[in-house]
């Protein structure tokens, strides 16, 4: 697959996975047909919606940089490894998409305990995936330390993961 094709495919998967987190948490906040907050408040929703934007920005930056024709091969290899790691994150998080959106299928919209249990499980699993991927990005960052452009992007990826983990951890007490 070409570099451009891989980058486009990656952005699609990544965007869907990040969006799944946002959708799930939005549904958690507002039940189907309900205008009252259920589990999360407006401030939580704003922070959660920032996840998708930040993820898309990081992925776009790495993908665009990886397509530069004047990029040295070491930089290119490191960036491609980073894109593969992002693809891994996207694929793993996608598997929890159903759990994150199941709230809309609950017939008893007043059962916040059931909703919280589902969301707690999905958030815990998402955090576990992100913590594992952070370790992989740290290793990749170490491997790419001599490639300044790639090393900078790997650091930015770890900052995104850290920020996302902080948002999810802040939601845990209500779940």
Tokens of 175: 């779940």
Record the pTM: 0.74
End-to-end CA distance of the chain: 42
Q: How far apart are CA 135 and CA 115, in angstroms?
A: 30
What are the residue ranges spanned by the domains of the chain? 3-174
pLDDT one digit per residue (tens) for the chain, 175 residues: 555 555 455 445 555 555 555 555 544 444 444 434 456 677 777 777 777 788 888 988 999 999 999 999 999 999 999 998 888 887 777 766 555 545 445 545 556 677 777 778 878 888 888 899 899 999 999 999 999 999 999 999 999 999 989 988 988 887 7
CB-neighbour burial class of residue 64 (10 A; exposed 0-12, middle 13-18, buried 19+) = exposed
């Amino acid at each position: 697959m070409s570099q451009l094709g891989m980058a486009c495919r990656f952005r699609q998967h990544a965007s869907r996975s990040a969006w799944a987190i946002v959708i799930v948490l939005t549904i958690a906040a507002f039940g189907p047909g309900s205008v009252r907050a259920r589990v999360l408040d407006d401030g939580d929703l704003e922070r959660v919606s920032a996840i998708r934007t930040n993820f898309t920005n990081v992925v776009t930056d790495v993908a665009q940089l990886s397509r530069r024709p004047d990029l040295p091969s070491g930089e290119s290899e490191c960036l491609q490894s980073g894109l593969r790691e992002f693809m891994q994150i996207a694929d793993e998080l996608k598997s929890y998409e159903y759990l994150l959106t199941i709230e809309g299928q609950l017939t008893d919209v007043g059962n916040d305990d059931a909703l919280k249990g589902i969301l707690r499980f999905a958030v815990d699993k998402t955090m576990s995936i992100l913590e594992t991927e952070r370790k992989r990005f740290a290793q990749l960052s170490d491997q790419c330390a001599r490639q300044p452009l790639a090393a900078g992007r790997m650091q930015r990826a770890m900052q995104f993961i850290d920020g996302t983990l902080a948002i999810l951890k802040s939601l845990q007490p209500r779940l």
